[in-house]
Every structure is written in C-alpha cells, then in structure tokens.
Amino acid sequence: MMILVLLLCCVSSAAPQESHHEHGGGHNATGIAIVSFKWHHVESPYLVAVWILVCFFGKLLIEANHKITNYIPESALLICFGFILGGIVWGADKVQTFKLTPTVFFFYLLPPIMLDTGYSMPNKLFFTNLGAILIHAVIGTVWNAATLGLSLWGCHQGGAMGNIEIGLLQYLLYGSLMAAVDPVAVIAVFEQVHVNEVLFILVFGESLLNDGVTVVLFNVFDAFVSLGGGAIDAKEIIKGIVSFFVVAFGGSLLGFVFGLLMSLLSRCTKNVQIIEPGFIFVLGYLSYLTAEMLSLSSILSVVFCGICCQKYMNSNMNENSIQTVRYAMKVFANGSETMIFVFLGISAIDKAIWVWNTGFILLTLLFILIYRFIGVFILTWMLNRYRLVPISFVDQIIMGYGGLRGAVAYGLAVNLNESKIKEKNLMVCTTLLVVYFTVILQGVTMKPLVQWLKVKRAEIAEITLIEKVQNKVFDHMLIAIEDISGQIGDNYMRNKWRNFEEKWMSRLLLKPSARKQQDHLYNVFHQLNLQDAMEYVKEGERRGSLEFIRNESAFVDFKKKLGEDYEEAMPDIMADMANDQGGASALRRDVLPTVSLEMHEQNMRGLREAEGINAHHLLDQHLYKGRKQHRYRYSRSHLDINQDENEVQEIFQRTMRSRLESFKSGKMGVAPPKTITKHTKREPQTKMPNGKNKPYHSGDEDFEFSEGDSASGYDTSFPTRVTYRAGAGIENPAFMPDLDPSSPLHIPPWLADAGMEVNPVAPSERAQVRTPGYLHRLSSLRTNTRSGETAQDRDLPTPPPHRDDDHL
C-alpha cells in the first residue's frame, strides 16, 4: 500500500522529466524500438486510475480496522488519509498538483452519488415526510444563508475581521455556499449511527434537497455579485426569486420526466438484458447533464430521476439486471464518496490556499452551528403544530447537530470567481475548515451524542409476513376512517395518488407481467420463499443430500391435528376437497395436504414466471456446485448458464448416483413399506407430465434412492390436486411449478381416474428423477424451514406409524 503511494509520488514527480526524456528519445530513434516507454501517452488516464486505486486502498485499509471505525466515522478517516497523501505529494512535488476541481466533482463524482441516493430512497418514508423535508430544505437553507451572510457582514462592520474586502453581497454569496448540509457527509455519518427512520429521512432528505437549493441560491447571488451592488433593484430581486423556483422545480420536473422515460424504456429492453442496467446509468447521467445544460438544478434532477424510476425499473427488469444495477450503483457511489473525502483531505495540503483570518473563520464556525440549531428549532416548532407525531426535542438536537457541510460547499467555493471576489482564498480555506470541523469533529461526536441523548434507534427487525399484512390493513383502515369521518388527511392524498398510480402509471410504465407482482404482500411472500429455498438447499448440502425433507414430521403444526379438527377449522377447504376428490375416503387420505393443494393450484397461475428465473438461478448455484460442468461459451451479449438439458441431466444422474452410494444402507430402514402405497397413487401422474417416462429401472439399484428422493415431491406440474405425496409436508407453493417450460403438460386421457387407479407395479421412479426440472425437489421446504419446528423435527427418528396412515 505505502509502496504504491510512493510509486505514485515518484511517478507524478518524475513525470515531467521522464516525458521530456521520452520525447527526446523519440526524436532520435533510428530503428524500431521493440519496447518503448511511453509515459506521456498514457499519463492522464493512468494517473486517474492510480488515484482511484489509491483511494480504494485507503478505504480498504480503514475498513480493515473495525475498532477504529466504530468510534470515528469512515469519512473522517478518509479525510485524514487524504491529509497524509497530500503531505506525501507535497513533499515530493513542493506544489499541490492534485486537488478536487469543481469540474471533476460536479461532473463525475457527484452524479453517481446522487443517482444512487435517489434510486435507493425509501419512497414512502420520503414522501410522507416531504412537507417537513421541503420546509427544512428550502426555508432552512435560505435562513442559514441569510443569517450567516448578514451576521458576518454585521461583524465585519463592527470590525471583528480586520481588513478584508468583502461586501454584503459577497457575504451573502458566501453564506449561500455554506448553507447546504452535505448529503455525502450526512449519509456517511448517519449510516453508522442507525437513528430512527423518521429522523434519518428528515436529515437525509433535507441534505439532499438543500444541495439543489444551495446551488440555485449560489447562482442567484453569483449573478447579483456580477451585476454589482448598484444595479440591483426590485425587479432583479424578483427575477432572482422567480429563477430560484424555476430552477428548483424545473430540475425536479426534468428528473421526473427522465424517470418516466427510463421506466418506459425498461418495458422493452427484454432482448438486450445485458445492457439493460446500463440504461439507468446513462439516462440518469443524461438527466443530470441536461439539467445542467438548461441551467436547472442538476442535483434535484438526478435525484428525482432515481426516485421516479426505481419502482418501475425494479419490477420491469430482470432479477439479474436489478442486482446488477444495485451493485453497480453502490460501486460508483461508494467509490465517488471515497474519492471525494480523500481529495478533500488532499486539497488541504496546499500552501497557496491558506489565508488565515481568525475572526472570519471562527465566526463562520460559530454562526453556522448556532443558526443551524436556531433554524431547526424554529422550523420544527412550526411543523410540530401540524404533525401528527411531533418531532421530539432530542431528535431536533440531532437534526441540528447533523448539519454537516461537505464537498458541495467546497466545490462551490472553488468555483468562485477570483476577479470578482478578492478574498476567494480565504473563503475556500474557511470552507475547508468548516468541512473538517463538521465532518471530523461532529462526525466523531455524533455517535456518543446519540447514545447519550438516548435517541430512538432504528429497529432492525426482519419483516414478517404478519407485520406486512398488518401494515397494509393499517393503511387501508386509516383511509377508510378518514373517508368516514370526512377528513382530508395525509392518508387521503396518499390514497388518491395510489389510485391514480394504479390506474395510469402502472399501466403505462409496467410490463403486463410485472404488473401482476406489484403487491407488497406478495413481494414479501416471495422473499421469504426465496430465503427458505436457500436455507433448505444449504441444509441439504450440509447433510450431503436433500434426504431430510422426507422426514414427514416436519408438518405445519396447525394442520397437524386429526381430520375432525380440519373439518371444524377449515370447512371451506374441506368442501373444496370433497368436490375434487369426490368422496370421504379421498378426503381422509388427503387430509393433511390441504394447504399444499391449495398452494399448488395457485402456483399454476401466478407464480410460475415469477419464480422461474430466481429458482433456476438458485438451483444452479446450490444444487450442482460440486459438479459444475458448464460449458462456458464466451459471448458478449449472453451470459448463459448451462441450459443443455441432456448435460444437466447427466450431471444430475451422476450426482444422484454418488449420493445413493452413501445413503443406500441408511435408507433401507426408513420407510420401505411406504414405497408401494405411494406408488399406487403417484405412478399415473408422475410419469405423464414430463412426457418421458421410461419405465425401465423399476426395482434396480436406483430404486431406494429414488424413493427417498421422491419424497421431496418433485412432480408438481400435474394440474390435479392428487399430487400430494406422503412425506412432502406442506408444499412450498413458490417452488412447486414445473420449471421446465419445455416439458409439455400432457393431460392424459386416463386422468379422470388417475387418483384411484391402482397399479401394483412400482414403476419408474427413475423417470421422475430424470426430470430436468430439478427444482421440484424443493417443494416441501416451506414447512421444513419456516415452521421452526424443523430443527427438532429433523432429528426425530421415525415418525409414528399412525401418522403414515393418516395421510396415505
């Protein structure tokens, strides 16, 4: 690491000479050089790459020590790292060759961060608190700018700063660039303290939006300064105010439009899945640049672009693309953030910018702290009169204290025009000091403060399905009560918006297939299922087989009572089943699987497509890890996983055979008598759906193995309700579908009496095992992993015999 830094310094310091030398060499060359050193040729991209590398290494180094990052936020450490680097470069060059230029910052480093924050914004939370956020962001920022500028000017008039040439307008300009709370710094610090989500969104949302506001404010004042004090009249001021709103809202609107465009586009990118994620980045960046071009607020534009498209993109795009976007977004944002902090540190080590003016610097620090607090208190006091859940005093303190200034302020300060503002260097260095003060000092003390004040922390709870259901019930209930009581409240507006969205936006922006899965409840369900599958497969791997699932004691408890209880508890299902099975005997026999049957049917409809890809992916990862024999083909446009059916089958066979070897002995004792009974029921269906039953192996050495494995209930593609098998437990609906779309669903003529048909010959279990839809094996895991009885149940020796009778 340090070697790298040194190398970098050498390179940078040696660069001029070397390039010179290289030039000379080039002229004198007479023959063909086999290798030539062309530093000049690659200089700038090389330096950029090395700098990025160094910054990343810095981060690596810092993150390696969790003991330190527990106390000092990463951002502060990165700045310190920047100091060191800057010192080294300074020592080598005697002049600061590298610093954060506004162009680099505003065009390359900032957009990814902003896009990421917009894209991963918790929308509901953001919009519920939008009022408070806007008030803090707009009024609060204006307040900060105005008070800081005016107070400094007042102190100046009072003679606190000695002899400097700064007029009122310049002070206001300075105030406006100082006013913004920096989202980068805020996230960096608040991410580590985990305050409650309302507080977080208030601080964070404010910092995000007020960046836009500051830039606008800065531009307005900048224009005023250029005009000069005398030329400003009422008209100009009004124009300034109007432009403020136009710029801010125009930027947001532009972002919104880009977001919609993006969502529309994502409807039809199915065929170019590989570059699908790229659209987000390119369009997001374009929205930033377009806003910049139209002199609208580019920050607001890109943030709103992210906010608008996230929902639609996430449901339109393929699961892989979503993951890609998420990760790539984080890579860019986190990388930029790292670079920003490091460069903030590096920029400090430069003699040229340091101009010391005790009065100016200390007063600035004092005022931004004081006015931030005053502003927060006044605004929240006003807001609390209208808020249902008032913001507590403790939260207000944290909000005030969370007013970290950051790179945006620095970027703007560097942007100042030296010909108009004589004291630019003073301003830049004060800004840097303020940034260091807030990020390092306040950042470090934030955590102890939060602990000391006992700020309500965020609960890190896993989402349970029931909570999700309750949440939903809740929302609807509040809306209903508002309707009944005739109030127009927040819920009312939200409801209107949701109706509108459901009616128009979704139709326009979502793929038809994605629209189906819009429901939140459904999503949680989906997540849980996926999680189960992972656990399940992992468990299987741990044990070396998926055999454990056949342990049928892993039933859902509430289903587990005797048939009589069922009739009481679930008359509707019993009725259903009675219809289906046409008889009490059938009912008796299938008493247990009620849930699985119900689930089974539903998966025939909605879930198939949804789960297909995920589950495929999942299984590719988990089931065949040991025997990955994928034929990797290079293709730029396709990222195929092995889809050759025969090959997969072959792998499968081999894996299974080897598993069999290890299980054969233990297996025999478990439940041999079941085999026959099961087959009598299963046989007719199991072979049909795949249309490839090859009744050859019956009774051979593969028999037990397949029996054991068959218990997991793979054959689920069959559209009757009789597919239940003993030992399958409650089947997981999500993993039931026959995921092999190529296997046609043959509904055989003898289907009608399929369930009753008794075939004493144990047929080809083999055929089932051969089904390429390897997924089927997952079916029963829901019970096994979710119900929590799993652990004990798996360890139960053999299920009591009477239970077998129950469901056979």
Partner 1 sequence: MGALKSTPDPIEYADLSEKTGYSLKQIRVLHKRFRELSDGDDVLRREHFRCISSLKYNPIRVEIIEAFFNRRNFSPSHQGSADEIGFEEFLVVMSHFRPPSPKITDEQRKNIRREKLQFIFNMHDSDGDGLVTLEDYRHVVEELLSRSGALGKETAKAIADAAMFEVARTVGHKDPNEFYEGITFEHFLKLLSNFDIESRMNIRFLKSDVNPFCQLCC
Nearest distance in Å: CB 317, partner 1: 19
> What whole-number distance in Å separates Cα of residue 423 and Cα of residue 411?
16
Q: Which is nearer to partner 1, 311 or 687 (CB)?
A: 311
Considering beta carbons, is residue 228 or 800 the nearer one to partner 1? 800
Q: From the CB of 437, what's the least distance to partner 1, in Å?
A: 35
Q: Which is nearer to partner 1, 254 or 479 (CB)?
A: 479
Tell me the C-alpha distance between 690 and 738, whole Å: 9
Distance CA(660)–CA(662), nearest Å, equals: 5
| Cβ at position 686, least distance to partner 1 in Å | 23
Report in angstroms how near the CB of residue 689 gets to partner 1 at its nearest: 19
DSSP state of 637: S
Residue in the structure block whose two tokens are 């509108």: 500
Q: Minimal CA–CA distance to 734: which of 803, 781, 767?
A: 781
Task: Report the 10 Å Cβ neighbour count for 5.
Answer: 17
Rounded Cα–Cα distance for residues 755 and 686 (Å): 11
Complex with partner 1: residue 235 or 385, whichever CB lies closer = 385
Q: Is the Cβ of residue 41 or residue 472 nearer to partner 1 in the bound state? A: 472
Spatial contact of 714 and 673, defined as CB atoms under 8 Å apart: no
Alpha-carbon span 391 to 384, nearest angstrom: 6
Spatial separation of the C-alpha atoms in residues 547 and 539, rounded to whole Å: 10
* CA separation for the pair 436, 76 (Å, rounded): 8
Cβ atoms of 171 and 153 closer than 8 Å: yes
Q: State the Cα–Cα distance between residues 67 and 70, nearest whole angstrom.
A: 5
**Encoded tokens for 571:** 């008359």
Q: Give 457's DSSP letter.
A: B
Ramachandran assignment for 191, one of left (phi > 0), alpha (psi -120 to 50 degrees), beta (any other): alpha
Minimum gap (Å) between residue 564 Cβ and partner 1: 10
157 contact partners, CB below 8 Å, separation of at least 6: none
In the complex, minimum distance from the CB of residue 783 to partner 1, in angstroms, rounded to a whole number: 8
Residues 145, 178 contacting (CB under 8 angstroms): yes
What minimum distance in Å lies between the beta carbon of 795 and partner 1? 12
Of 485 and 646, which CB lies nearer to partner 1 in the complex structure?
485
Q: Which two tokens stand for residue 503?
A: 């009616």
**Residues for the chain: how many in total?**
808
- Nearest CB to partner 1, comparing residues 75 and 787: 787
CB of 563 to partner 1, least distance (A): 11
**Is residue 808 within 8 Å of 589, Cβ to Cβ?**
yes
Which CB sits closer to partner 1, 311 or 786? 786
**Contact call for residues 92 and 13 (beta carbons, < 8 A):** yes
Q: Which is nearer to partner 1, 550 or 786 (CB)?
A: 786
For residue 720, the minimal CB distance to partner 1 (Å) is: 15
Q: What gap in Å lies between CA 210 and CA 133, rounded to an integer?
A: 9
What's the CA gap between 440 and 610, in Å, rounded?
Answer: 47
Q: What angle do CA 558, 563, 566 make, to 5 degrees?
A: 50
Give the nearest distance from C-beta 453 to partner 1 in angstroms: 18
Helix axes 110-119, 407-415, angle to 10 degrees: 140
Q: Which is nearer to partner 1, 93 or 601 (CB)?
A: 601
Residue closer to partner 1 by CB (options 101, 471) is: 471
Of 167 and 606, which has the nearer Cβ to partner 1?
606
> Tokens 């309302």 belong to which residue?
198
> Minimal distance in Å, beta carbon 610 to partner 1?
10
Of 66 and 605, CB closest to partner 1: 605
Q: Which residues pair with 195 in a beta bridge?
A: 457
Give min distance, CB of 473 to partner 1, in A.
6
Tokens read off for 79: 């700045």
**CB of 462 or CB of 753, closer to partner 1:** 462
Residue 447 or 520 having the CB closest to partner 1: 520
What is the rounded distance in angstroms from the CA atom of residue 333 to the CA atom of residue 306? 13
∠ Cα 38 39 40 (to 5°):
95
- CA 575 to CA 16: how far, in whole Å? 88
Helix intervals (H) in 486-550: 490-500, 506-509, 512-516, 520-543
Contact partners, residue 236, CB within 8 Å, separation at least 6: 224, 227
Q: State the minimum distance, in angstroms, from the CB of residue 543 to partner 1.
A: 20
Least distance in Å: CB of 296 to partner 1? 34
Closest contact distance (angstroms) between CB of 787 and partner 1 is 5
